[in-house]
Amino acid sequence: MKKLIEMDIKEYLDMLKSDAPAPGGGSVSALAGAQGIGLAMMVADLTLGKEKFQDFFPICQRVKEEGERLFENLSDSIDADTEAFNLVAVAFKMPKDTEEDKAARSAAIQAGTLKSTEVPFQTMKLAFEGLLLAEAMIGHSNPNCESDLGVAVLNLSAAVNGAWMNVLINLDSLQDKTAAEKFRAQGQDIFDEANQIAHRALKKVL
Alpha carbon distance 39, 21 (integer Å): 29
Alpha carbon distance 1, 3 (integer Å): 6
Please list, in sequence order, all residues whose beta carbon lies within 8 angstroms of the beta carbon of residue 152, skipping any fewer than 6 positions away.
Answer: 35, 36, 37, 39, 40, 43, 130, 134
pLDDT value at residue 7: 95
pLDDT value at residue 49: 86
pLDDT digits (tens, 9 = 90+) for 78-118: 999 999 999 999 999 999 999 999 999 999 999 999 999 99
What DSSP designation does 50 have? -
Residue ranges covered by each domain of the chain: 23-205
Query: Which stretches in the chain have pLDDT values below 70?
Result: none
The answer to whether 71 and 153 are in contact (CB under 8 A) is no
pLDDT digits (tens, 9 = 90+) for 71-85: 999 999 999 999 999
Q: Is 47 exposed, middle or buried (0-12, 13-18, 19+ CB in 10 A)?
A: buried
Class level of CATH domain 23-205: mainly alpha
The answer to whether 126 and 73 are in contact (CB under 8 A) is yes
Alpha carbon distance 126, 123 (integer Å): 5
Distances (CA, A) of 83 to 1, 40, 80, 115, 152: 11, 28, 5, 9, 26
pLDDT value at residue 141: 97
pTM for this one?
0.95
